[in-house]
Amino acid sequence: MATPETDKRLTAETFAETYPEREDRPAWSTAGTDLELWDGVVVEGEVPGFRHQQTVLWVANAIEPWVRAKGGRIWVDADLKIGPRDLRRPDLIAWWNDQPFHPDRVFDAVPNLVIEVVSPQPRDVERDRQVKLIDYCVAGIPHYWIVEPLHRVFETYHRRQVGQGWTYTRTDLATTGVIGVFGFPNLTLELDACWAAGSV
């Protein structure tokens, strides 16, 4: 039986309808902040700065030809439904397995890849490195990348079964140079160019 507290929780669909462009923000929301839904509760997302945004754009441009060659697409700042009461706004998603989607609605299929660019605020670091690491694994997303431009760290995680459960295993950790990415044949990333894109 639902309690009064759980009755107040939003579904992903209700949240998306209530804040379609994130312009009608609650009074407590900081201007320029994305909103996300976590277990039915509206929470503030990141406050992206210049370094963050330039890094997202660089990564998007770097991987899009590879994704397109597989017949896929990328989407920056998509609303991604990962559960009935969970809607995240990752920095970038990519998919290439004919997942159905509508360009003006929530993406409710499972993408092949989610990428988060970490902002320097401690709460954003914790959310991307801990909370979302669990959330995206539970949602069945095969690949998760964490890009941290402030400290110049690039990490990739691959979802695999361990016993009766699933976990992300780190498959790449790099800070500089040209790297190949685990699970992405013939894709290379020039990390020094990535970090330069967000430098001031």
Is residue 134 scored above 80 in pLDDT? yes
Is residue 175 scored above 50 in pLDDT? yes
- Bigger pLDDT: 197 vs 26: 197
pLDDT in the model for residue 29? 37
- Bigger pLDDT: 95 vs 44: 95
Is residue 22 scored above 70 in pLDDT? no
What pLDDT digit, counting tens, does each position of 54-108 carry?
Answer: 999 999 999 999 999 999 999 999 989 998 888 889 999 999 999 999 988 889 9
Place of tokens 């009074």: 27
Across the range 99-118, mean pLDDT stands at 94
Domains of the chain by residue range: 48-197
Is residue 41 scored above 70 in pLDDT? no
pLDDT in the model for residue 12? 62
Across the range 27-32, mean pLDDT stands at 39
pLDDT in the model for residue 65? 98
Helix/strand/coil (H, E, C) string of the chain?
Answer: CCCHHHHCCCCHHHHHHHCCCCCCCCCCCCCCCCEEEECCEEEECCCCCHHHHHHHHHHHHHHHHHHHHCCCEEEECCCEEEECCEEECCCEEEECCCCCCCCCCCECCCCCEEEEECCCCHHHHHHHHHHHHHHHHHCCCCEEEEEECCCCEEEEEEEEEECCEEEEEEEEEECCCEEEECCEEEEEEEHHHHHHHCCC
pLDDT in the model for residue 28? 36
What pLDDT digit, counting tens, does each position of 145-174 carry?
Answer: 999 999 999 999 999 999 999 999 999 999
pLDDT in the model for residue 159? 97
Return the CATH class of domain 48-197: alpha beta
Whole-number CA gyration radius for the chain: 17
pLDDT in the model for residue 124? 84
Is residue 6 scored above 70 in pLDDT? no
Average pLDDT of the chain to the nearest whole number: 86
